[in-house]
Structure 1
């Protein structure tokens, strides 16, 4: 592989990663950043508690989570439960 091919390959990979996160709205970026920041401390997150921390409604968090799930490459986000609000399981 030539040096030019290597650089083009790296740029393509970077664009793919950035493109995924670049497609997120401000709210989705804030939710993803919050989950990344707190994933080491805890595993389960309730939508209403994320909302309280970020100044959003629980409905806004829930409506934006599918984009966050798709964009999260360094953490896994899975819908976990519904009792007294949606709970999300986040693992590294």
Structure 2
């Protein structure tokens, strides 16, 4: 899926996310939307791979994850590992 189509599906799919995500920045909402969209098919996510899909840097993803961990309502996000980049465990 391209970054544009991912961003579009995130924007349209987040109406039900409610107030918990209202304080998130655009980047944070995009990352959270990506995680929500892919959590059913995958559990572990590397920051660099999320970054590639969304047109961000791995550092931007990592810097925004603490806000996402606090705001995630439909998924649980936990820092999982550091080998060859940060890995996040995401469960529904």
CA contact (8 A) 2:20 2:73 kept: no
The offset of 1:73, in angstroms, is 1.1
Query: Equivalent residue of 1:74, what SS?
Result: coil
The offset of 1:74, in angstroms, is 1.0
Dislocated runs of 4+, deviation >4 Å? none
Give the TM-score, by structure 2 length: 0.80
CA contact (8 A) 2:39 2:90 kept: yes
Which residue is 1:81 aligned to?
A: 81
Q: Supply the distance in 2 between the matched residues of 1:62 and 1:83 (Cα, whole angstroms).
A: 14
Which residue is 1:36 aligned to?
A: 36
Aligned-CA RMSD value: 1.0
Which residue is 1:56 aligned to?
A: 56
The offset of 1:81, in angstroms, is 0.1
Unpaired runs of 5+ in structure 1?
Answer: 1-16
Number of aligned residue pairs: 76
Which residue is 1:45 aligned to?
A: 45
Which residue is 2:3 aligned to?
A: none
Give the TM-score, by structure 1 length: 0.80
Q: Supply the distance in 2 between the matched residues of 1:36 and 1:20 (Cα, whole angstroms).
A: 14
Query: Equivalent residue of 1:60, what SS?
Result: helix
